[in-house]
Amino acid sequence: MAVLSRASFSMIKSELVQRIAEHNPHLYQRDVENIVNAILDEIVAALARGDRVELRGFGAFSVKHRPARAGRNPRTGAHVPVDQKSVPFFKTGKEMRERLNREGGAPDAGA
């Protein structure tokens, strides 16, 4: 049996939409896609307003503000100014952490 690295398991948005549609045959795939897009768009809009988005049991999305600083060009060693920036941050919820640790993080742990 071949052992696959964890890096080989990834899911893109279209695969998420397809899986949700498969688990909910009463919904059209285009409707599922619209729902997923609406959820993600609302999370992005809330973060852009500076709000925090908390999904109980899943995690919380927030924005961290990085101040301006002096950086260094690794090739020349010259000091360069780095502008302030805002970066998205995700912190997993307790329930998700417990579930991942209980199941070992593998999607097919029982198979």
Other CB atoms within 10 A of residue 8 CB: 6
Q: Which residues in the chain land under pLDDT 70? A: 1-8, 104-111
Q: Looking at residue 110, what is its pLDDT?
A: 45
Report domain extents, the chain. 13-103
Q: Looking at residue 4, what is its pLDDT?
A: 47
In contact, 59 and 93? CB cutoff 8 Å: yes
Place of tokens 């502008």: 83
Cα-Cα-Cα-Cα dihedral sign, residues 94, 99, 101, 106: negative
Q: Please give the CATH topology (third level) of the domain spanning 13-103.
A: HU Protein; Chain A (4.10.520)
In contact, 86 and 66? CB cutoff 8 Å: yes
Cα-Cα-Cα-Cα dihedral sign, residues 21, 23, 26, 32: negative
Q: Looking at residue 46, what is its pLDDT?
A: 97
Q: Render pLDDT for 80-104 as a digit per residue (tens, 0 to 9).
A: 999 999 999 999 999 999 999 987 6
